[in-house]
Amino acid sequence: MLRLATHDDIPQLTTALLNLKAQTAWKDEPLEQNPQRVAEFVTGQLTSPESVCYVWDDPAHGFCGVRFAWMHLPPHLPYVFEWGWDGSPRAAVRCWRACCEWGKKRGAVYGLRTTSTPGSRVTERCTWERL
């Protein structure tokens, strides 16, 4: 079942983001992995009108969160960028699609997300998608 993330989801989202970092190209970077700071980040995203997070929790679990922004370079197109995702591929994609719809309703033209590249030294890449 697809739903908006709530305050009750913060511990699970925090754990998922920390686990995700350990599986990405960022795993060797000396970035602070403090659960409290990650939880504060998630709380900020959940309370911001410029951000949304959807959770899928039946039967598989997944989530995706995006933030609305404007491109820095002309023509300054509006877009959404993924700030976190995790879970089964099917659940995460459903959440991504819901996030894109949320962005389209606010005028976003593109969506920016990371995709994995198995078998590569670089374990992820950014992908632009026209909404």
Supply the pLDDT for residue 121. Answer: 53
Supply the pLDDT for residue 31. Answer: 66
- Up-side HSE of residue 21: CA atoms within 13 Å toward CB? 17
Supply the pLDDT for residue 52. Answer: 97
Supply the pLDDT for residue 68. Answer: 94
Q: Does 12 or 25 have the greater pLDDT score? A: 12
Give the tokens for residue 59: 């039967």
The structural domains of the chain, ordered by start, are: 2-130 (3.40.630.30)
Cis peptide before 30 (omega within 30 of 0): no
Supply the pLDDT for residue 116. Answer: 64
pLDDT in tens, 44-93: 999 999 999 999 987 778 999 999 999 888 888 898 999 988 888 889 88
